[in-house]
A and B are shown apart, each in its own frame.
Chain A
Amino acid sequence: MDLNILWFLLIAVLYAGFFFLEGFDFGVGMLLTSLTRKDVERRAIINTIGPHWDGNEVWLIVAGGATFAAFPHWYATMFSGFYMGFFLLLFALIVRGVAFEFRSKHDTPRWRYGWDRAISISSFFAAFLLGVVFTNLVRGVPIDADMQFTGTFWSLLNPISLLGGLTVVMLFCFHGANFLSLKLTEGLRVKAHGNAKMYFTAALVFALGLFAALFFTRSAFSDKGWITLILPVLAVASLIASRAMMEQKREGWAFITSSLAVVVTVAALFFALFPNVMISTTDAANNLTIYSASSSPYTLKVLSIIAAVMVPVVLAYQIWTYFVFRKRIKADAKTLTY
């Protein structure tokens, strides 16, 4: 296996990690305002992701950085091509980040609920925009022979990419609700459980619709043929398994299987793309591949050594943080600290 393939895989892993981790905390963010109106309960909900969300977001930053370092042309074409998409994503992430930090630092109801609403709305848009971006990635966008994106903002907003956006939203809501029913107690746990059921149906319908749309129209899926169906089928199976686990009140397994659904969905996108990293709808000859878009072998080697040392270390301490904060969180003003 050459280093180009290794870095394609590593970037896929980084995005999968990001979708899995930030997926549930985007989900938690979206559910925050609809689950309860009580401030204590909202604080409890935020505390389930409080220690983690910032570290989770770094997965996106590292994924972006790794794309820049290992495949500069991919980074350049994608980020300049999806300019408005990324601008709006940044906007959402900015609002979301400060909202978490600011919401509890002042105590008028207007302040609290304003920021809570900001958390929900920005989480929704961040998830939605990620879905739009990644759907466009596998559908392909107009790219010329100089690797330049030649479309406009509007060419990114097609029905299928909007469907992709909503699919990610529903999937994250389901995933987030599973996480919450694992982390909360009593009434909130029950509510989260109920929400998960609701979002399961939506996620399933949207995911089936999206995969069908990608398979029956021109995209990386249909280009490559039936073999790309294996992973989507697995993703949908994980989703259904998660629902079954919920039914049996096995919340740990329900969360693990919903995580699997998210990870396998990302894997499906990257598998369909490979060995391309950007698909040109103008001419297949203009596709950016893991070879035409990559850095030099020397750079890839240096990066590989650093990643081989650091990735296990990062995983170890991030897992440790989940271990430290493994207890369920009770919505009780006396015990809630932060």
Chain B
Amino acid sequence: MDIVLLSRWQFALTTIYHFFFVPLTLGLGWFVAILETMYVRSGNQMYKRLTKFWGKLFLINYAMGVVTGIVMEFQFGMNWSEYSRFVGDVFGAPLAVEGLLAFFLESTFLGVWIFGWERISKKLHAAVMWIVAIGGNLSAFWILAANGFMQHPVGYEIVNGRAQMTDFGALLGNPRALYLFLHTFFAGLVTAAFFVLGFSIYHLVRNHEVEAFKKSFYLSALIGLISAVAVGLAGHAQGVYLREVQPMAAAASEAHYETADPADFHLIAGIDQEGRRTTWSITIPKALSFLYFFRFSGEVEGLNNIQAQYEALYGPGNYIPNIPLAFWSFRAMVGVGTLMVLLTAGALIIAWKKYPDKWIKRSGWLVWIIFLPYIANTTGWILTETGRQPWMVHGLMQTKDAVSPNLTPATVLISLVGFVAIYAVLMAFDLFLLLKYAKKGLVTVEADSVPIAAVEAPKKRGGK
């Protein structure tokens, strides 16, 4: 294995892992802020308990997001130093600003929120949670502005073989980045909505704190449905724009090998990567043209055609990404997304029908819907990042040229194994705690305000 492949695996795994925690942080922050605001406005203790309950789960998740996030920032320099040299002038700026403008805000005020319950006024405390939520989502904007540049570079010129920023405004207004942000923003809300919905069902089925969890259920169903529809719309707009600026990635997501007008849509297909064709497929005639142009005609360029253009433009080479991965990731994401719209719509009907007993009793299995957004989030990023290959920065730098030349395979293997090991262990602890608190429900909130066990440390090292 070479350092490019190992570094790619490391980056992919640490990023996917990081993004297990990020969307929930992005979305759940709003939920906690809304609930706390309801508490401040109504004075109703139930909302305070709900705030603390979901807030506790927010914190457990947040910690994991933070510690895995530092890894991301360092890895560009550690594993991708040539990339960092090449784009640092453009790409570094949003990362630096993210820390200064957003992450400082989020983490500093979260500290105040955790420890500040008795120290600052109720109103200020609720405002602090809003700042945390805003800070987190601002972070996402800056990171996606950086990622948007990798997908569709704008606002730069090449000077002495390096990308130099010429227009900061263009970098921030990059449509590619704005679509990414909208899509991610709503994906965060959907993730949080399903998290809240799933655990609310868990408690409703068991008749725990029914009144409180009905509130949670209703809130998450409502926000969930709106966001699930919005995430789809933002995703669609993103896809349409993708065809314009990254036609290869767009065609990859559809396994669309041959240019056609009108173009058919493959619902599912068998893919022959070597032969650069689909072997069989179930298609909807003209539907791909319709998706891109909103009419049943319009030329959609195929992979083979774009490959020929890129060879003419960038020299010989294979510019086609991993098609089955892109194709099936896209289908998994869209399929799960559609399912989530239906589920939240169903949940709203349950709420409007005043939670009929016979329905609630049979919905215990619905706890598992918590995992759905995670599937969609992960496959979405797999599509975005692998669909861009072989480019690190679309059209400017290939991934194989971006790696740190001084690394040895052994070094990267050690860090890769190290990250995988610690991340696996932490996932176990994280799930243990999340499940423990989520299952116990609101009762833990009061018990936990004084969390001190009146015990002494063992005298012997490692003993009980």
Residues of A within 8 A of B (CB): 33, 37-40, 43, 47, 50-55, 57-58, 60-62, 64-66, 68-73, 75-81, 83-84, 86-87, 90-91, 93-95, 97-98, 100-102, 104-107, 109-110, 112-113, 116, 147-150, 153, 295-296, 298-299, 302-303, 306-307, 310-311, 314, 317-318, 321, 324-325, 333-334, 336-338
Contacting residue for A68 out of B77, B79, B422, CB 8 A: B77
Quick one: which of A64, A150, A303 contacts B93, CB cutoff 8 A? Answer: A303
Q: Contact string, B83-107, partner A, CB cutoff 8 A, digits 1/0?
A: 0110111111101111111011101
Tell whether, in the assembled complex, residue A54 and residue B110 are in contact, meaning their CB atoms are under 8 Å apart. yes
A106 & B101 in contact (Cβ 8 Å cutoff): no
Residues of B within 8 A of A314 (CB): 100, 104-105, 108
Please provide the 7 A-B residue pairs with the shortest distance between their CB atoms, ordered closest to farther: A72-B88, A79-B77, A69-B92, A101-B63, A37-B457, A65-B96, A62-B99
Which B residue's beta carbon lies closest to that of A49?
A: B111
| Interface residue stretch chosen among B39-47, B112-120, B333-341 | B112-120
How many A-B contacts are there with CB distance less than 8 Å? 265
- Residue from B81, B95, B165 with most neighbouring chain A CB atoms (10 Å): B81
Whether the pair B82, A76 counts as a contact (CB closer than 8 A) is yes
Given the known inter-chain contacts A39-B457, A109-B464, A299-B90, please indicate yes or no for A77 contacting B81, CB distance below 8 A.
yes
B309 within 8 A of partner (CB): no
Contact status B95-A68, CB under 8 Å: yes
CA distance A93 to B82 in the complex (A): 26
* CB of A45, distance to nearest CB on chain B (Å): 12
Contacts of B60 in A (CB 8 A): 101-102, 105
Cβ of A91 and Cβ of B454 under 8 Å apart? no
Q: Are B422 and A80 in contact (CB under 8 A)?
A: no
B168 touches A302 (CB 8 A): yes
Asked if B74 contacts A50 (CB within 8 A), the reply is no
Specify which chain B residues have a CB less than 8 angstroms from the CB of A38 in the assembled complex. 456-457
Q: Tell me if A68 and B92 are in contact (CB < 8 A).
A: yes
Contacts A64-B73, A75-B84, A91-B418 known; A58 to B452 CB distance under 8 Å? no
Is B260 part of the contact surface with A, judged by Cβ < 8 Å? Answer: no
A70 touches B92 (CB 8 A): yes
Q: When the two chains form the complex, which single residue of B88, B105, B109 contacts A76, counting CB atoms closer than 8 Å?
A: B88
B91 partner residues in chain A, CB cutoff 8 A: 68
Q: Which A residues lie within 8 Å of B450 (CB)?
A: 333-334, 336-337
Residues in A whose Cβ lies below 8 Å from that of B111? 50-55, 321
- Known contacts being A39-B456, A50-B115, A325-B119, is A105 close to B96, with CB within 8 Å? no
| Complex: chain B residue closest to A53, CB-CB | B111
In the bound complex, do residue A149 and residue B82 qualify as a contact, i.e. CB atoms below 8 Å apart? no
| Minimal Cβ-Cβ distance residue in A for B84 | A76
Cβ–Cβ contact B457 & A75, under 8 A: no
21 chain-A/chain-B pairs, Cβ below 8 angstroms: A54-B111, A61-B99, A62-B103, A65-B73, A69-B93, A70-B92, A72-B88, A75-B77, A80-B407, A94-B68, A94-B71, A101-B60, A105-B433, A106-B432, A299-B90, A299-B92, A303-B93, A310-B101, A318-B108, A333-B454, A337-B449
Cross-chain contact A91 with B422 (CB below 8 angstroms): yes
A173 to B105, CA, bound (A): 28
- For A101, what are the chain B residues with a Cβ–Cβ distance below 8 Å? 59-60, 62-63
Question: Which chain B residues lie closer than 8 Å to A54 at the CB level?
Answer: 66, 107-108, 110-111
A302 lies within 8 A of B88 (CB): no
Which of chain A's residues have a CB closer than 8 A to the CB of B68? 94
Q: Given the known A-B contacts A62-B104, A324-B119, are A80 and B456 also in contact in the complex, defined by CB atoms under 8 Å?
A: no
A112 to B429, CA, bound (A): 13
Q: Are A90 and B433 in contact (CB under 8 A)?
A: no
Task: Quote the shortest CB–CB distance from A254 to chain B (angstroms).
Answer: 25
Q: Which of B88, B96, B406 contacts A149 (CB 8 A)?
A: B406
Shortest CB distance A163–B (Å): 25
In the assembled complex, the Cα of A311 lies from the Cα of B71 at a distance in Å of 24
Partner of A97, one of B67, B92, B101: B67
B453 near A39 with CB under 8 A, answer yes
A149 to B89, CA, bound (A): 21
Q: With the chains together, A307 CA to B96 CA distance in Å?
A: 10
Shortest CB-to-CB span from B67 to chain A, Å, is 4
B76 at the interface (CB under 8 A from A): yes
Q: In the complex, what residues of B have CB within 8 A of residue A39's CB? A: 452-457
